[in-house]
Amino acid sequence: MGNTSKKLAAKCTLLTKDEQKYVAATFRAASKNSERIREDDLIKFWGPQIDPRLAQYLSNFLFGSGQQKSPTVEFNRFAELYVYNVRGTVDERMMVTYNSLGKDYNETVELPYQLLKEYCESIASTYIKILKSSSSKRARTWIEKGFKGRASHVQALGEAVAATVGGDLDSPHHHCTAEQLSKWLQTNTLLKQLAELVFLNLYGINKKAGDESPTPVPAAMPSLLPLPDGLDAMPDYPAFIDLSHIVWLNSHIPQKHQHKWRFLFSSHIHGESFSTMAGRIQDQGASILIIEDNSGYIFGGYAPVPWSLGPNFIGNEDSFLFTLAPKMRMYPATTYNNHYQYMNHHTKTLPNGLVR
């Protein structure tokens, strides 16, 4: 079997030497040691770890659709799907998107926005499935504290990823042109990271227990899910946000802060005291403030510099506001003025820093 896998891998020049081992092994497992994979066998092989919609989209790319559908697929095509999604050019990723949605890649063909949104939802759903089945400490800590990855929030994550395709996030979308799709694929880093992590998992590009051989995954590859610090000491922490919210929000803060989130304050645990909150958040570095109101709306802001009490504004243009529910949206600083952050007490005036 090992020799056969090497022969398969040698046929595909797209793969690096390290990737060949893992992709060939996955192909062999899915094809039941055959040189071609049947659609049913592949869907069954991926079944537990993939959203059914994404399984169908990937089948469209691999096996075709309609009258051009093939009953089997060979190794090269199987490898192309991995390479194009993990490190493909914009044109290659365009082709994968069109073909996966049952369309021929053509610059004159528009994609229905609803179809693109469901495609993004299926990728987000598969990523959350992977997280929920993961044995990693960071994933297990979030999940055990009540951050569940609920279907409605996963759907909202996919919608947030797709919504940027037209430029105006909250305008109704009906179709997207090839030009819009190309620009979207170039600029949407969250979609690229989600797809990359999904395909690394589907193709077995990770270490198995006892496997000491090198893998193609970069050691310093940033995680979309930060490591929670301080939640273990909070047995009654109320998880009012979701895994999907954490992934989306983490993708928008500077990369240097994406690895670990440190818990500072909760009104549920520490009480509704301004002085307590101020004491716990001052001089603690960059921070994220998340609020849920009585109607279930969840919103907040990212503060890039440490909080301090005083009559002057602090912060910089890296700050932003956001909503998490009912929709995930990010609103960057306007830079009309320098009124980014303000915290004070024993004063009767409010800062006039809000600009629409």
Q: Which of 290, 286, 287, 312 is nearest to 299 (CA)?
A: 290
Query: Residue 135 has what pLDDT?
Result: 84
Complete DSSP assignment for 209-256: TT--S--SS-TTPPPSSPEEESGGG-TT----S-HHHHHHHHTTS-GG
Check residues 314 and 13 and name the one with the higher pLDDT. 314
Q: Which of 117, 98, 100, 112 is nearest to 158 (CA)?
A: 117
Domains, the chain: 2-202 (1.10.238.10), 227-332 (no CATH)
Percentage of residues of the chain with pLDDT beyond 90: 75
Confidence of residue 356 (pLDDT cuts 50, 70, 90): very low
Query: Residue 353 has what pLDDT?
Result: 53
- Whose tokens are 């081992």? That residue is 21
Query: Residue 214 has what pLDDT?
Result: 38
Which 8-state DSSP code applies to residue 147? -
pLDDT digits (tens, 9 = 90+) for 213-265: 334 444 334 579 999 998 888 777 889 999 999 999 999 999 999 999 999 99
pTM, two decimals, is: 0.89
Query: Residue 253 has what pLDDT?
Result: 97
Angle at 349 between CA 345 and CA 352, to 5 degrees: 115
Q: Which of 352, 307, 351, 329 is nearest to 163 (CA)?
A: 329
